[in-house]
């Protein structure tokens, strides 16, 4: 793993909507940073994944834009050649490492737990650009849950937008999109939601707080990133994984996880 302080914001969708040319330049510059040190970009953010893959796709179809980009990048000693790979951390988990490899090293399981996978928009769509999983019937998160003997839940809104991109534009619709999912999950007595996008994580966490304030409904459904869940399965402690920083407390999930795995003590 190589860390670099040269990366900037990926220029997400709202920037490309306002100023496509700026978004293209910013994205290409980030790609050129990785190319210069001959590195693959690995991102845990689905929005960054989509933005950078879209820039790659656009430049691959129009050589004149590559020339324009390189005229700009020449001022900083960089050049875009189109050789860098962009991977979401889920691709690394599923394709490069493999769930079987992780399972062999795991110390715990999800036996007895009901887990709801949430894919979000940008990890699997647009499918011709992301080229990861099935955009209509994705299975990667479900397969991780099932491989570790948990029950993977289907629920209303599983493949719909989390509502996060609508924040500040239409907060009512933003919360409603989330509320639909949470209502369905509550009825199914879910133990936790796992997801692979930090923006979706924020929406599911902070959104529950907003729904309580605006609608008086308390869900208290724990939200975990897939990497947090895998960390637990591999034997890392909740404190090491930052569980104490969650807005929605994870004690109910951790207590049940520890009980099912024969561990003493309650989750914090």
**Collapsed DSSP state (helix, strand, coil) of residue 264:** coil
pLDDT band at residue 14 using 50, 70 and 90 as cut-offs? confident
Give, in order, the Cα–Cα distances in Å from 255 to each of 76, 82, 231, 241, 262.
52, 48, 16, 16, 10
Note whether residue 41 is domain-resident: yes
| Spatial distance between the Cα atoms of 196 and 90, rounded to a whole number of angstroms | 7
| pLDDT computed for residue 75 by the predictor | 93
CATH code assigned at 197: 3.40.50.11810
Note whether residue 161 is domain-resident: yes
Q: Can you tell me the mean pLDDT for 56-65? A: 96
Note whether residue 4 is domain-resident: no
pLDDT band at residue 264 using 50, 70 and 90 as cut-offs? low
| 136/151 same-domain check | yes
Q: Indicate whether 17 pLDDT > 90.
A: no
Note whether residue 267 is domain-resident: no
Provide the sign of the torsion angle of the four alpha carbons 181, 185, 186, 190, taken in this order.
Answer: negative
| 102/68 same-domain check | no
Note whether residue 72 is domain-resident: yes
First to last CA, the chain: 31
Residue-range definition of the domain harbouring residue 133: 89-260
pLDDT band at residue 263 using 50, 70 and 90 as cut-offs? confident
pLDDT tens digit sequence for 185-239: 999 999 999 999 999 999 999 999 999 999 999 999 999 999 999 999 999 999 9
Provide the percentage of residues in the chain whose pLDDT is more than 70.
98
Return the ∠ at Cα 206 (arms to 172 and 3), rounded to 5°: 125
| 40/65 same-domain check | yes
pLDDT tens digit sequence for 87-98: 999 999 999 999
């Amino acid at each position: 793993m190589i860390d670099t302080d040269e990366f900037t914001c990926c220029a997400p969708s709202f920037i490309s909507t306002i100023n496509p040319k700026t978004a293209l330049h910013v994205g290409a510059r980030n790609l050129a940073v990785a190319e210069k040190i001959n590195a693959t970009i690995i991102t845990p953010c689905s929005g960054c994944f989509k933005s950078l893959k879209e820039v790659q796709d656009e430049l691959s179809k129009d050589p004149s834009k590559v020339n324009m980009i390189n005229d700009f990048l020449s001022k900083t000693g960089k050049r875009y050649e189109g050789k860098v790979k962009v991977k979401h951390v889920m691709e690394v988990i599923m394709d490069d490492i493999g769930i079987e490899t992780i399972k062999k090293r795991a110390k715990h399981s999800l036996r007895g737990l009901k887990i709801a996978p949430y894919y979000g928009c940008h990890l699997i769509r647009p499918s011709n650009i992301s080229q990861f999983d099935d955009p209509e019937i994705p299975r990667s998160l479900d397969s991780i849950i099932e491989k570790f003997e948990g029950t993977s839940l289907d629920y209303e809104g599983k493949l719909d937008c989390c509502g996060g991109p609508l924040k500040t534009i239409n907060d009512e619709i933003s919360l409603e999109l989330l509320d639909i999912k949470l209502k369905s999950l509550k009825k199914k007595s879910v133990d936790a939601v796992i997801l692979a996008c930090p923006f979706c994580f924020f929406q599911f966490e902070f959104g529950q707080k907003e729904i309580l304030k605006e609608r008086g409904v308390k869900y208290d459904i724990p939200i975990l990133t897939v990497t947090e869940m895998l960390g637990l399965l591999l034997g890392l402690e909740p404190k090491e994984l930052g569980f104490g920083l969650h807005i929605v407390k994870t004690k109910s999930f951790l207590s049940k996880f520890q009980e099912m795995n024969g561990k003493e003590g309650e989750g914090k």
